[in-house]
Amino acid sequence: MFGGKVIIVTGAAGNVGSALAAHLAAKGARIAAVDMVKARLDSVVGGLAGEGHMALTDYDLLNPSAAEALVAHVVATAGRVDAVGTTVGGFAMAKLADAGLDQWDLMFNLNVKTTWNIYQAAVPAIRRAGGGALVGIASAAGNRGSGEMAAYSATKSAVMRLTESLADELRVDGIRVNAVSPTTIDTPQNRAAMPGADASRWVKPAQIAEVMGFLLSDTASAVSGQLVQVGF
């Protein structure tokens, strides 16, 4: 499905990012895996099917220049960039009186700024490759705010609006832009944080990866500007 395609996966040492990298590699993609957790990233990349994958740990996606350097390195190494699947993000909750601007800055940086920076850096390369796809992660919480989640919900909503805006802007370049909006993800961190919750209905990282993989593929060539909920 992805034979010959070079795909950047950000947050590739994380739960969803590692699942996405594995899914894409199994279908023939060459992965440029990005994360700042070196030991975990090396392990993820070492376990990928196929050859020619890259483990890239020296690029802080909060820095636009670092994102540009990352894309330049991938192009210099692999010759092209066809798509980006970005999974970097974070979650925090608190009442307004307790949160302060620190929480807002943290959520905006992790959820919006990293997505903006990698997209902005990658679009020229994808355009030169003849078009491709960008797929990010929003959240079902971005559809409607709820108590103690103001910063998280607002920044995930920003990812949604960014997705829609770029889909409209980049369609002339043959670049599709979509996002998945998971419900609660079944991760060790969420199980530890919510020990009494019923995790049987939580969405698994591999399920999210499958949907992201579809949106990154040519099979979804007519799909852009969509926010696809994954989970119930």
Q: In the prediction, which pLDDT does 193 show?
A: 86
Q: What is this structure's pTM?
A: 0.97
As annotated, the active-site residues are: 152
181, β-bridge pairs: 229
Q: Which CATH number fits domain 6-230: 3.40.630.10, 3.40.1280.10, 3.40.50.300, 3.40.50.720?
A: 3.40.50.720
Q: In the prediction, which pLDDT does 21 show?
A: 98
- Domain locations along the chain: 6-230
Rounded distance, CA 101 to CA 28, Å? 43
Instruction: Name the residue type at position 58.
Output: D
Neighbours of 217 (CB within 10 A): 19
Give the tens place of pLDDT for each residue, 156-198: 999 999 999 999 999 999 999 999 999 999 999 999 989 999 9
Identify the burial level of 141 via C-beta atoms within 10 angstroms of its C-beta, where 0-12 means exposed, 13-18 middle and 19 or more buried. buried
CB 6 within 8 A of CB 81: yes
One digit per residue, the tens of pLDDT, for the chain of length 232 reads 999 899 999 999 999 999 999 999 999 999 999 999 999 999 999 999 999 999 999 999 999 999 999 999 999 999 999 999 999 999 988 898 888 899 999 999 999 999 999 999 999 999 999 999 999 999 999 999 888 889 999 999 999 999 999 999 999 999 999 999 999 999 999 999 899 999 999 999 999 999 999 999 999 999 999 999 999 8
Backbone angles phi, psi at 225, to 5 degrees: 75, 20
Q: In the prediction, which pLDDT does 202 show?
A: 96
